[in-house]
Amino acid sequence: MEREHVVIKETVKGMPLLGDRFPEMDVPTTHGQMSLPKDYNGKWFVLFSHPADFTPVCTTEFVAFQKRYQEFKELDCELIGLSVDQVFSHIKWIEWIKDKLNVKIEFPVIAATETIAGKLGLIHLGKGTDTVRAVFIVDPKGAVRATLYYPQELGRNMDEIVRMVKGLQVSSKEGVAIPAGWPENELVNDHVIIPPATDEETARKRVKEYECFDWWFCHKKR
């Protein structure tokens, strides 16, 4: 028993940091063997882990992700689920969701080994050996652009994850920052934030070129 605990502990590593390349790994999924991030080169993807199949909160999350799957695809973004359950368990659970809830899960689900989960920092020994609720948003170059980490007892807000993908795409393409609650911010509505000036001349020009509260707080409509 002690030896098993040591093996698990050795597989637990830190979560990839923002800007890091998503760890390369070959993974078994409900859609067959996949290579990440290679199989999604040129596309955004959201990888989300869940503690276990056949659990109530995780079931609500899978239904919620599926309900927004088309919205993710319109953003050229794919979804991938993950837990340490085996593929046959994933398949049976997906069948149950289709039969009982009339929702067909269309995205793949990874059957993670402890090594795979450990590479992503998804096992919290204080919570047992189940994977935690984590989210990785990865860009078309395979870089981790955002991470979210939830406790087991709290389900995720999928609309926020959609918003994050949209915001990161706008930021990457246009070189702007995204305000709180965008596109419904209390101060600037659906505008985006212009990066602060880095010299005096640019600071003076900013207030003439954009809508500004001050030279360091300028915004524009897209």
pLDDT digits (tens, 9 = 90+) for 118-151: 888 886 655 555 678 899 999 999 999 999 988 8
Q: What is the mean pLDDT of residues 67-93?
A: 96
Residue 149 in contact with residue 161, Cβ under 8 Å?
A: no
Q: What CA–CA distance (Å, rounded) separates 129 from 113? A: 11
Helical spans, DSSP H, in 43-113: 56-67, 69-74, 87-101
212 in catalytic set:
no
Pick the range with the lowest mean pLDDT from 6-10, 62-66, 110-114, 152-156. Answer: 6-10
Contacts 24+ apart (CB under 8 A), 177-186: 179/219
Q: What is the mean pLDDT of residues 34-40?
A: 97
Domain 175-222 CATH (choose: 3.30.1020.10, 3.40.50.300, 2.40.160.60, 3.30.2350.10): 3.30.1020.10
Burial 145-180 (b: 16+ CB within 10 A, else e): bbbbebebeebbebeebbbbbbbbbbbeeeebebbe
Does domain 2-156 fall under CATH 3.40.1190.20? My reply is no
User: What band does 152 get if pLDDT is binned at 50, 70 and 90?
Assistant: confident
C-beta neighbour count of 206 within 10 angstroms: 18
Kindly name the residue from 58, 77, 212, 218 that is annotated as catalytic: 58
Residue 8 in contact with residue 103, Cβ under 8 Å?
A: no
C-beta neighbour count of 9 within 10 angstroms: 12
Q: Where do the domains of the chain lie?
A: 2-156, 175-222
Residue 199 carries which side chain, given as an amino acid letter?
D
Q: How many residues does the chain have?
A: 222
Token pair listed for 93:
């659970």
End-to-end CA distance of the chain: 59
Q: What CA–CA distance (Å, rounded) separates 179 from 91? A: 40
Which whole-number Å values give the CA distances from 166 to 22, 74, 96, 177, 201, in the listed order?
20, 10, 32, 12, 32
Q: Is the pLDDT of residue 16 over 90?
A: no
Residue 44 carries which side chain, given as an amino acid letter?
W
Q: Is the pLDDT of residue 87 over 90?
A: yes
Q: Is the pLDDT of residue 9 over 60?
A: no
Find the angle CA(88)-CA(92)-CA(94) to the nearest 5 degrees. 115
Give bridge partners of residue 147 from the DSSP assignment.
136
pLDDT digits (tens, 9 = 90+) for 110-124: 999 878 888 888 866
